[in-house]
Amino acid sequence: MRRKGQCAHIASCNGCRRRRIRAMNIAGIRIAPWIGVFGLLFFVVTTTLSQVAPGSEGQVTLSRLSPPVFPPLARVARVNGEVEIALQVRQDGSVESAAVVKGHPLLKAAALDSARQSEFECRECGEGLTAYTLLYTFAYTSTDSCCKPEEISQGTTHAGVTQAENHVTILIDPFCICDPSADVIKVRSPKCLYLWHCSTRYGL
């Protein structure tokens, strides 16, 4: 038969075990939600990295440029400047999206249409999207008077579209409205005797 001391010791041990089990259960209940939260965060981070990181390591090059057209209204208004386009390129080189970062309102549409219709090559790109930037510069071949071609310097740049990597330059001749009366010079005929008999000669 067990003694009373031994029974008390056994009872106390059993009580300690129950308290420890109860404490462990309570701790598990408190920790379980945090485990779920950390697990969810880990899943989101790894999924995002798998979609974004492979694409960001790729290199995008412009393989075929869709020639932009200088907007007629901008030409009449003598508007020039730069337009920056931000693109998202797929793995096969097609354009997922294109948006204007900055630029004159009269020039934005021409640059955006050109960027969307152009073709790209994405080297070592993953399944995610790769960012790319195109810069369009709209300018004129000359700032001199177009009404007097003989006064334009010989070093004038010819109109056309040129490309250097991701920089596209569009040059066009300025739109001119010349006043014919500016070239009219009135002279007196040597044969006239009166002012009302004088003739008018155009140009010299």
What percentage of the chain exceeds 70 in pLDDT? 53
Neighbours of 153 (CB within 10 A): 7
CB 128 within 8 A of CB 52: yes
Specify the amino acid at residue 173. Answer: D
pTM higher than 0.85, yes or no? no
Q: What is the pLDDT of residues 165-204, one digit of tens each?
A: 999 999 999 988 766 555 555 555 555 545 444 444 544 4
pLDDT over threshold 80, residue 135: yes
Does domain 59-172 correspond to CATH entry 3.40.50.720? no
Side-chain half-sphere CA neighbours of 126 within 13 A: 11
pLDDT higher at 128 or 109: 109
Question: Is the confidence at residue 163, as pLDDT, over 90?
Answer: yes
Alpha carbon distance 121, 80 (integer Å): 30
The residue written with tokens 């003598």 in the block is: 78
Mean pLDDT of the chain: 75
68-118: per-residue pLDDT in tens?
A: 999 999 999 999 999 999 999 999 999 999 999 999 999 999 999 999 999
Q: pLDDT at position 158, please?
A: 84
The domain limits of the chain are 1-54, 59-172
